[in-house]
Structure 1
């Protein structure tokens, strides 16, 4: 999203054609305007990306919401995904997995894979996750090899123990080095 902020200045006619020298008031106003512009740009850039389905067929979960926090992602720190929706099959099995693939300019720049039930083991909804559950939170660490400051097309895909795709979500995300 591009953000443009326009500042309009009202020019008053004066008897002298040369502008008065800057005062501390005009310098402070210019600094305040620049700071406000940067603050608005920071808020806009930190907005949650738009996640869409990347599933190519039927899934075990009809996803109604997907978000990650914190955003932007922090390299080497935990990120938690909150997934809302309706399960048609329980999430279970020792082979349930989570696959994450990041691409930049159509080249793979990030990969990670985890056992989904191991991730969910210490959460409110460990495996087997019943079909009555409508929201799951899963947290993993962003690998230290994650590219910083570039828009990465990230695909997050969960596979059930029976081999079915639970969900697949994609969005363009960025990562940063956080304190």
Structure 2
């Protein structure tokens, strides 16, 4: 071969048909090899992480909700199949949250039919009534009972709830992923 392999260079030219190199050339070649290896590992890590956001982006689909949500932060993402989804929700509450609340978590693939529906009562998760001046709620949604949730696949996830006063409390949609996790 015209060029010696990196192994020939790193083994200090043990092969008899490799051209001789001085020690500074060997050090420089070894440094280039290790710098390239580190760069390749760093690129692989970035590539593995780039498709998976730290948090899904949730968007309101409510026109006049009692709880105008400004941010949702989940304690663990991607979501884990068989585990509760815990969240911190910030926003402006224009009316107290009162019982009975009627909530629903829905998963859709490509805008098609829902593949899971999970009802919940927000007042069974947080202590109701919740005062109107409340700006942050922290709670865990019930564990999804669906067993056929696709893993490592993005789909639309809708979370909505009605307030005990008959108004819409909130309705949010986002593109999310589930995965199999070990606690």
One of 150, 162, 165 as aligned partner of 1:147: 150
One of 162, 167, 170 as aligned partner of 2:170: 167
Moved over 6 A (4+): none
Offset, 1:80: 0.9
User: Who is 2:22 aligned against?
Assistant: none
Q: 1:98 to 1:27 in 2, by over 3 A?
A: farther
Offset, 1:169: 1.0
SS of equivalent residue, structure 1 residue 66: strand
- Deviations 1:135-176, CA, capped at 9 Å, x for gaps: 001202244522211111111112111221111111100000
Cα distance between partner residues in 1 of 2:36 and 2:146: 39
Higher alpha-carbon Rg: 2
- Using the size of structure 2 for normalisation, the TM-score is 0.75
Cα pair 1:110 1:147 within 8 Å, conserved: no
SS of equivalent residue, structure 1 residue 113: strand
Cα pair 2:88 2:137 within 8 Å, conserved: yes
Query: What are the ranges of 5 or more consecutive residues in structure 2 without an aligned counterpart?
Result: 11-29
SS of equivalent residue, structure 2 residue 97: coil
Cα pair 1:86 1:133 within 8 Å, conserved: yes
Alpha-carbon RMSD: 2.1
Cα pair 1:54 1:155 within 8 Å, conserved: no
- Using the size of structure 1 for normalisation, the TM-score is 0.77
SS of equivalent residue, structure 1 residue 178: coil
Cα distance between partner residues in 1 of 2:134 and 2:65: 16
Cα distance between partner residues in 2 of 1:169 and 1:75: 20
Q: 1:88 to 1:77 in 2, by over 3 A?
A: same
Cα pair 1:48 1:71 within 8 Å, conserved: yes
Cα distance between partner residues in 2 of 1:119 and 1:40: 38
Query: What are the ranges of 5 or more consecutive residues in structure 1 without an aligned counterpart?
Result: 1-16, 121-125
SS of equivalent residue, structure 1 residue 40: helix
Cα pair 2:67 2:92 within 8 Å, conserved: yes
Q: 1:34 to 1:87 in 2, by over 3 A?
A: same
